[in-house]
């Protein structure tokens, strides 16, 4: 199997000097950043749900959420 090495800027910083990394090393380098981004997205989705549907412990929340997802634009 052929290993491809590409120059990658660490942390997406455009002014940083690029490192030559293989795909596996690049994924390891970016793992924490991707985990943080994923966590932020999940919290944003939950906040939007709270905004439009109210508290998740409220009665009937599942029915209201399903009604929103069934609507066709």
pLDDT tens track for 20-71 = 888 888 888 888 888 988 888 888 877 776 776 666 666 777 777 777 767 6
Domain that holds residue 24: 5-70
pLDDT of residue 1: 74
User: C-alpha angle 50/52/56, rounded to 5°?
Assistant: 35
CA 4, 12, 25, 33 dihedral sign is negative
Residue 72's pLDDT band (boundaries 50, 70, 90)? Answer: low
pLDDT of residue 32: 84
Check pLDDT > 70 for residue 12. Answer: no
Helices 23-53 and 61-70, packing angle to 10 deg: 110
Counting the structural domains of the chain, the total is 1
């Amino acid at each position: 199997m052929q290993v491809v090495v590409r120059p990658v800027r660490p942390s997406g910083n455009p002014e940083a000097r690029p490192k030559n990394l293989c795909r596996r090393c690049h994924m390891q380098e970016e793992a924490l950043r991707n985990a943080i981004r994923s966590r932020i997205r999940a919290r944003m989705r939950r906040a939007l749900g709270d905004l439009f549907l109210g508290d998740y412990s409220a009665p009937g929340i599942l029915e209201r959420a399903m009604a929103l997802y069934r609507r066709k634009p």
